[in-house]
Structure 1
Amino acid sequence: MSASTPIVFVHGLIGTLQVPDLSIHFEPTKTLAPDLLGYGDLKNVPAHEVSLPAQVAHLDRVLRQNFGDEPVHLVGHSVGGAIAALFAHAHPERVVDLVSVEGNFTLKDAFWSASVAGMSQEQAEAMLEGFRTDPAAWLARAGVSAEPLLAEVASRYLAQQPASTVRAMARSVVEETGSPGYLPKLRDVFSRHRVHLLAGERSRPGWDVQDWALRQANSITVIPGTGHMIMLEQPQAFASMVKKALQG
């Protein structure tokens, strides 16, 4: 990993990767964790403008604004892993390495998205409001210890997006990853780029990584004692493993 190559973090269905305890571990390398459409400073983007293809186009604009045509390392978590892979497929010359942190491979990985996609707007709002009322319980369902600091971070995650964004993204995840053309795009990314697979020990068994991807991946890392929210549970270990993969 060259210190001059920026690292860009792409967040998942809920939350952000704008975590100070994460970015500090990569200094002096430039890092960026942009808000996707419908999230954070962009939470007012209408739901009909929110989809995985729209996020790829948005990521293209953001990276050009920040880094011009300079290639970057992409680190995508969960749904962000799918967005990062689709970006690498669309703009192969702009990506040096891709780190997929339990990124979506098939509809099996989108089981929760599929559930949300089938909800009405009212049901999605009620679900998200329930999470916001008790962020510690939301963390516990993800297998994360509800320490005060993590509960505070979880509250910020849950405030990042309206239910309309979550619902629109969930529907797009099901549509894109269920498409016959999705896996061929992933195969193309693996053939063109160094791809690293990163997972939490508790959640790895549920990650539907294809056999061909396991064979072709440049590295496969499982972080002990963690689940799907690796960067919240062990940010230092997560950063260390990402740096190790990119340097390999």
Structure 2
Amino acid sequence: MPDSQPFRQDLVPISVDGVGLEISSVYRAGQGAPILFLHGFGSTKEDFAGLTCQPAFAGRPFVAYDAPGFGESQCADLSRLCIPILLATALRVLDHFGIKRFHLVGHSMGGLTALLLAHQHPERVISFVDIEGNIAPEDCFLSRQIVDYPADEPEVFFDAFIERTRHGSDPASALYAGSLPYKVRVEAVRGIFTSMVELSDHGDLMSKFLGLLCPRMFMYGEQNSHLSYLADIQAQGVELASISACGHFPMYSNPVEMWQRIADFHHRHPGVGVDNGNAMLLKGF
């Protein structure tokens, strides 16, 4: 009997740099090059599970998971979390599913993690869709609050962060803020935000992004069309995708257009010759 589930779930027990993790993932095996999705701060794997409702992605294999400190994933030492730990987690998840080469899609914090992954392992990345991931200091409008609004107690900072976000100008601000207490471990915030700011200010991210040889798309909400680097990265070969009627969160404000732009990009860059006989198919769909 055919499996009626649009995707399956898996709990991936791993250790990264001595920190024990249990990573909650969703995945689907299939035909074609797999897609790895990395969510942003305050979001979860479910941001991308809607792929299974998109006809343009019918039968495409994918993996999305809750980063440690978020959603249903567990972390034995939340104080250790930072972007390098998230990067190492992504590599371990890829190993778990036996994925060698893949399309990469990352949003915000996940876009930053994805950039470092693509920079360190360019031979594995077929294409990269960066959804407002950090590539310049100006991108730290959320994470830089750890510097601009310091607080000794993690709970005090996070509660104030939620309230500031709730009243933000982004069309998805209130929706996003309302879910933060349920999706984020408070103890994970400081380390992740601090490392995001450090990398954005001193990690030479723009050079890393422009130095990638794979096809690249930078996706942004039309509300953020003021980003100072857009024309420059386009002139250097990066495809731009402005998503209408939204700001930083196209998956909440305009998922239909977001998915269509990703599908069109992948259609133009399918990854011909990719070895798809990997362990994704061993999961048994």
1:225-246 CA distance string (max 9 Å, x none): 1111110112122111111122
What CA distance in whole angstroms lies between the structure 2 residues aligned with 1:100 and 1:210?
13
1:137-193 CA distance string (max 9 Å, x none): 8455252268xxx84x7644541212221221110011112115433322322xx11
Note the residue ranges of structure 2 that are not aligned, 5 or more in a row: 1-29, 269-285
Is the 1:117–1:170 contact (alpha carbons within 8 Å) kept by the matching residues of 2?
Answer: no
Instruction: Tell me, yes or no, if structure 1 residue 9 matches structure 2 residue 37.
Output: yes
Partner of 2:185: 162
Q: Percent identity between the aligned chains? A: 26
Indicate the structure with greater strand content.
2
Instruction: Tell me, yes or no, if structure 1 residue 244 matches structure 2 residue 244.
Output: no
Q: 1:24 aligns with which of 9, 32, 53?
A: 53
Cα pair distance change 1:155/1:176, threshold 3 Å: same
Is the 1:14–1:161 contact (alpha carbons within 8 Å) kept by the matching residues of 2?
Answer: yes
1:58-102 CA distance string (max 9 Å, x none): 100001111x24211111111211110100011112210000111
Cα pair distance change 1:180/1:143, threshold 3 Å: closer
Note the residue ranges of structure 1 that are not aligned, 5 or more in a row: none
- Aligned residue pairs total 235
Give 1:84's aligned amino acid.
Answer: A
Is the 1:125–1:163 contact (alpha carbons within 8 Å) kept by the matching residues of 2?
Answer: yes
Q: TM-score, normalised by structure 2?
A: 0.73
Is the 1:105–1:210 contact (alpha carbons within 8 Å) kept by the matching residues of 2?
Answer: no
Give 2:32's aligned amino acid.
Answer: S
Partner of 1:195: 216
Cα pair distance change 1:7/1:140, threshold 3 Å: farther
Give 2:79's aligned amino acid.
Answer: H
Structure with higher Rg: it is: 2
Indicate the structure with greater helix content.
1
Cα pair distance change 1:51/1:218, threshold 3 Å: same
Larger deviation, residues 39-48 vs 10-19: 39-48
Report the alpha carbon displacement of residue 215 of structure 1 after superposing the two structures with TM.
Answer: 1.7
Instruction: Tell me, yes or no, if structure 1 residue 58 matches structure 2 residue 81.
Output: no
What CA distance in whole angstroms lies between the structure 1 residues aligned with 2:78 and 2:40?
16
Partner of 2:27: none
Q: Secondary structure at the match of 1:70?
A: coil
Q: TM-score, normalised by structure 1?
A: 0.82
Instruction: Tell me, yes or no, if structure 1 residue 143 matches structure 2 residue 170.
Output: yes
Partner of 2:201: 178
